[in-house]
Amino acid sequence: MPYMPKLNQLEVFDAIITCGSMHAAARMLNQTQPAVTRSLKELEQRLGTPLIVRGVNGIVLTEMGKLFEPRMRLALSELRRAVDEIGQVTQATDGTVSFGCSLLPSCSILPTVIERFHEVLNRNAKIIMTEGQLSDLLPSLRLGRLDFFIGVLTPELYLNEFIVEPLLTTEFCVIARKGHPLANCSSLSALRDAKWYLPMSEAGYYTDLETQLFPKGRNSGISILFSDSITIGEYLIIDSDYLFIGPEMMLIQPRNEKAFCKVPVKEKLPDGTFSLIYSKKTAMTPVAKLLADEIRHQCKVVSAQL
């Protein structure tokens, strides 16, 4: 059986892929470039194959490098998570939780969750939140870079290796700023020439919704911006009269209630179900479980208000 690679060799390879060059990887690791180059060569000798080649635009993974990368990164992620979890249990450290979420829970459920989590449950825990659709964040979830994901599911995705826990089903509606010229429209047909801000998605809820909004296709003059940025979305809706389709529960929050209103279209939009998605094989760390439990609690509170 061949000798296993050393941990520092894997960390160097990971840094080279992340940074795109030996020089940048050395700077990130606080090592000299010759030391980084030596660690990479030792790893390649141990595996018996080249992993990268230098190209005009930086490093490029070989076919064996592409094969090795995902499993190597999963192993590093699991090791880091294990060390973090042991620290949380044995040394009462606060720990880190990384999770992904779509735009919708980030502007409806999560502000209250994170505020309570930091103020009441774990003041010093480090929370890393990555916004995006499940289709985009699924590789990070599979590789263990994310502890869990919360958002509206995409039925086309293969999720057999995950636990999918439905949390909350809510009605969706057209949302505008208060005082918008189209705020009192009663049909989608009256809104088809409006400006729209929609979450970015290649499949799932919003892709299907486009068919309902534009059954005959989009007019060439329609302005539609796709993004997962809360800041950009809020600016466009409030200051530039864009319309948005989101969960009706967004309007329950006092801050949103003052700024936004529901456009009373007669057509019923499909309901959306928020789900919590996490690995079947790897248990959550204590701090990740604590945050997930708080998300479950908040979803029950919101559900009772709907």
81-117 pLDDT per residue, tens: 787 777 766 655 567 889 998 877 766 778 888 888 8
β-pair type (58-61, 52-55): antiparallel
| Domains defined along the chain, listed by start | 7-79 (1.10.10.10), 94-167+274-305 (3.40.190.10), 172-270 (3.40.190.10)
Q: Which residue has the higher pLDDT, 72 or 208?
A: 72
The pLDDT score that the predictor gives to residue 306 is 66
Query: Among 34-43, 156-165, 273-282, which stretch is predicted with the lowest mean pLDDT?
Result: 156-165
Residue-wise pLDDT tens digits, 140-166? 888 888 999 998 876 667 788 899 999
Question: What pTM value is reported for the model?
Answer: 0.68
The pLDDT score that the predictor gives to residue 107 is 66
Question: Taking 50 as the threshold, does the pLDDT of residue 259 lie above it?
Answer: yes
* Mean pLDDT value of segment 67-86: 84
Question: Positive or negative, the Cα torsion across 80, 287, 110, 138?
Answer: positive
Spatial separation of the C-alpha atoms in residues 167 and 151, rounded to whole Å: 10
Percent of the chain with pLDDT over 90: 26
Query: Which one-letter amino acid corresponds to residue 81?
Result: R
The pLDDT score that the predictor gives to residue 204 is 58
Q: How confident is the model at residue 1 (pLDDT cuts 50, 70, 90)?
A: very low
Quote the mean pLDDT of the chain: 84
The pLDDT score that the predictor gives to residue 183 is 93
Residue-wise pLDDT tens digits, 185-230? 999 888 878 899 887 765 556 666 777 777 666 666 678 888 877 7
Question: Taking 90 as the threshold, does the pLDDT of residue 51 lie above it?
Answer: yes
The pLDDT score that the predictor gives to residue 155 is 66
